[in-house]
Chain A
């Protein structure tokens, strides 16, 4: 049994290890190891396309995770003290958001936004005196943020509601009995209690958005995110530079995961 477990771990980590190993390859050929070098890391970090894609990815992931955490938490708190059909409809919508494959979300968002923009843009141009100066909608960072926020918001609602259901309702009632206005009760009692869940939701949303390829592939328009860049590079052939980028991305997620664990751990102790 132990040997079996060891083999599974080997299976899980060998491919990752190989990527990391070959990212230090001095040679130009991806599959023959020709000595140790960090030159591909330098190459990747000095590649303007990589840096632009990275900047887009970070910006999209941070914005959508922040929006999803705020709006999702608001919705979770609202739903918590609600019964009846509105709650049932909301549950159904969240279920749909999570169940529908990412690829369908991607194409649906693409055709809906492109169709709506085709109607709105000429109308906006007509509204402005100088048609050239009129604001125009197009697919890009904004549409990726909107789509990612929609999906990750559903995750945040689920996580925060699970936490809210374990929180002692009596604490909130006591606060209200002592004449604390609802906002004060929320800020002093509820928020500290659900903070770890919001934080976990934020991290999950950030990671999802940063790693997402399929939704961004459809709705990013002419913009590139890091996964889109990696995918199109792989299509052109395997290079040590991609190994270096991949290793950095994996290392970054690992650090994020450890930091999250440490914060949640500390939170539990206090």
Chain B
């Protein structure tokens, strides 16, 4: 057996699995999105753009997702950055690993249970009741965009801290000393050296979180209570409740397109930001 044949044999099971369980199903979604709904739900073969024309009916789901996902990503980054900075730059190396593990541990436990914890805290018997004690009455937190945002930040903060930490940890600390030696104030050093050098880490973190948020279902389902819903919630409704497979497939295709477009635009922006910085450095 030649090396080439061996390689093919090694790849064959994975290739077959990916084909049957990924490529084929995604092709079904693509084909179904041009079909029609059967009388009893499901799918009837057809070639029509009707489902795509109907997409504005689910505009609210796309709008919510495209507002809350970037907002949640940004908020998580703003909270994660100082922590990552503290861990990577200011913490005694002896404690660094254990503190980092403590940030990541929650991410390894079920996001379902962690979101459910907030249902508990923000619900009528949680924070609103405490506020009631000190005289602030009738505060409603659960089933609001705020609750969904808290759930998002809570769920994805660990995923954001890690890449920023890695970027800051790799940063050559002598650069910071050099900057200080050349008379830069701590603030100047931070904004001119530390922050620009941690952009790749921030970009990775934001991308990871944003991609996961685009398909989010659990957090809005539990904390948004049907009032604040994402595309994911619309998809569950279309496939499992109203069984409108053709329209659901069109919504899913649209979600993939929106994701591809935003991620591509985002990557372009980051790339431009990086080249601009290199130009700045060249000018200095």
Contacts and interface: CB of A to CB of B under 8 A. Distances in A.
A112 B28 contact: yes
Contact of A2 (B18, B86, B116, B215): B86
Given A22-B120, A101-B259, A253-B109, A111 B14 contact: no
Interface residues of A, number: 74
B82 A105 contact: no
Interface string A61-86: 00000000001101101110110001
B10 A75 contact: yes
Contacts of B15: 75, 90
B106 A16 contact: yes
Contacts of A179: none
A111 B90 CA distance: 52
Interface residues of B, number: 74
B110 A250 contact: yes
B21 A149 contact: yes
A100 B26 contact: yes
A107 B114 contact: no
Interface string A227-258: 10011001000100010001001100110010
Contact of B14 (A4, A74, A113): A74
A129 interface: no
B119 A104 contact: no
Interface stretch (A40-48, A163-171, A213-221): A213-221
B25 interface: yes
B113 A93 contact: no
Interface string A187-207: 000000000000000000001
Given A1-B90, A101-B259, A75 B112 contact: no
A146 interface: yes
Interface in B197-229: 211-212, 214-215, 217-218, 222
A59 interface: no
B73 to A, nearest CB: 15
Contacts of B18: 93, 97, 150, 153-154
B218 A150 contact: no
A111 B215 contact: no
Nearest to A104: B252
B29 to A, nearest CB: 5
Contacts of A146: 17, 20-21
A77 B255 CA distance: 34
A232 to B, nearest CB: 11
Contacts of A249: 109-110, 113
B87 A5 contact: yes
Contacts of B90: 1
Contacts of B10: 74-75, 77-78
Interface in A1-45: 1-2, 4-5, 8-9, 11-16, 18-19, 22, 30-32
B40 interface: no
Interface string B243-268: 00100110010011001000100000
B112 A107 contact: no
Contacts of B82: 1, 4-5
Interface in A75-126: 75, 77-79, 81-82, 86, 90, 93, 96-97, 99-105, 107-113, 115
Given A8-B83, A75-B10, 14 more contacts: A16-B114, A22-B120, A30-B120, A31-B120, A75-B11, A81-B3, A86-B11, A103-B232, A104-B29, A108-B29, A147-B21, A150-B17, A150-B18, A230-B116
Q: When A and B form their complex, which 9 residue pairs have the shortest distance between CB atoms, in order from nearest?
A: A101-B215, A78-B10, A31-B125, A108-B25, A15-B117, A75-B14, A150-B21, A112-B25, A246-B113
21 contacts: A5-B99, A8-B79, A8-B83, A8-B157, A15-B120, A16-B109, A30-B120, A31-B125, A71-B14, A75-B10, A79-B7, A96-B26, A100-B256, A101-B214, A104-B215, A107-B29, A108-B26, A111-B25, A153-B14, A234-B222, A257-B105
